[in-house]
Chains A and B, each alone.
Chain A
Amino acid sequence: MRVTEQIDALEAMGLNSIGYLIIPRVLAGVLMFPVLYIAAVLVGVGGGIAVAHLGGWVPAGEFVSGAREFFNPFDPVFGIIKSLVFGFVITSISCYKGYYTSGGAEGVGRSTTEAAVTSCVYILLADLVLAMTLL
């Protein structure tokens, strides 16, 4: 939107482009990443049970009782906290890179790569900080 002057068009109309474009995206990321996390956990555990049971390695009942034995109630809470933080990190970095991109189509490609790489680095950093403070 930046390189095709769509952001300038929003501003020229008298609209706050940051409020219109960035805040909803960051909010969506923060709200939906935990949902994605829960879905991923359900699919992961469900898939594990199905493969173990159908493959004839571990019966479903035994799998569930084993999982319960090692279950720590803080783990899913910690997972949701991490997904909230990662959602914020990924969307805010990506929006920042996109909002201030320049240099035409090539610039958009460069900003996309920068957004992905920077997000990965900050996710690792955030993971470290969260693990050190909450675990």
Chain B
Amino acid sequence: MIEAKNLFKSFNDRPVLEDVNMQIEEGETFAIIGRSGSGKSVLMKHLIGLLKPDSGEILIDGVDINKLDYRALRTVRRQFGVLFQGGALFDSMTSFENVAFPLATFTDKKPAEIARVVHECLEMVELEDVGNKMPSELSGGMKKRVALARAIALRPKYIFYDEPNTGLDPETSNTIDALISGLSDRLNVTSIVVTHDMHSVLSIADRAAFIHQGTIRWIGTVEELHASTDDVLLDFVKAHEYQIGGPRTSVATNPPSY
């Protein structure tokens, strides 16, 4: 279980997270939603321990990762798989080598065994035949899928997704959603998805937290989303509905209040 307790963080005296509290249960797919710049990616980097809060706790299975020394923190991180926004594939390595990297670094597996696991991971993301390609030869969607294969190579307990659909066409975006959903079931992992794509949230998440101006404005199950009476949350949810066929004038006459 992942818990954030009374989390505060500022950059250059500008508060980015203010008293964030939440719990992510084992096995669920949890979405962190909010507008661009609301602090959701910063929150995710705190959960992985890439950023340290000014105050507050991040508990991973009851252990406060900010109290751990660097070596112990690295051991905790080996339970994590992270899909970064642009994939973050190592550009000096082929797709195969990228997926093999964590296996070769952190396990005692023999090369033949590593090759078998790599092929299995690439098969899970439906990209069996790109092993020899360099990241620069892959499309945006393919990069994310190879990065996802790398993230699941060590069979992590938690997978973090940072804006998995950003920059992808709707069809590829749906493919990524289907992969996230499929992997959650197949590997029985806890998934944390940072996104502003409501379509994605509604199709894959069990629960969601809506971050607004650095605080958690709303938290609940996806079914409860539409029943919410919070104006700011409803504006955010409706903005997505306008995008998929609502009256164009509605957007113009009801601009978001930044």
Contact = CB atoms under 8 A, between A and B. Distances in A.
Interface in A1-31: 1, 4-6, 8-9, 11-16
Given A8-B50, A9-B82, A15 B105 contact: yes
A4 B86 contact: yes
B159 to A, nearest CB: 11
A5 B85 CA distance: 8
A12 B80 contact: yes
Contact of A9 (B45, B88, B105): B88
A6 B78 contact: no
A12 B90 contact: no
Instruction: Bin chain A's interface residue count.
Output: 10 to 19
Contacts of B89: 6
A4 B74 contact: no
Contacts of A1: 90
Contact of A6 (B45, B90, B160): B90
B63 to A, nearest CB: 15
Interface centre among B77, B80, B86, B88 (most CB of A within 10 A): B88
Interface of B: 45, 48, 50, 70, 74-78, 80, 82, 84-86, 88-91, 101-102, 105-106, 160
Interface of A: 1, 4-6, 8-9, 11-16
16 contacts: A4-B86, A5-B84, A5-B88, A6-B88, A8-B50, A8-B82, A9-B84, A11-B77, A12-B80, A12-B82, A13-B80, A13-B102, A13-B105, A13-B106, A14-B76, A16-B70
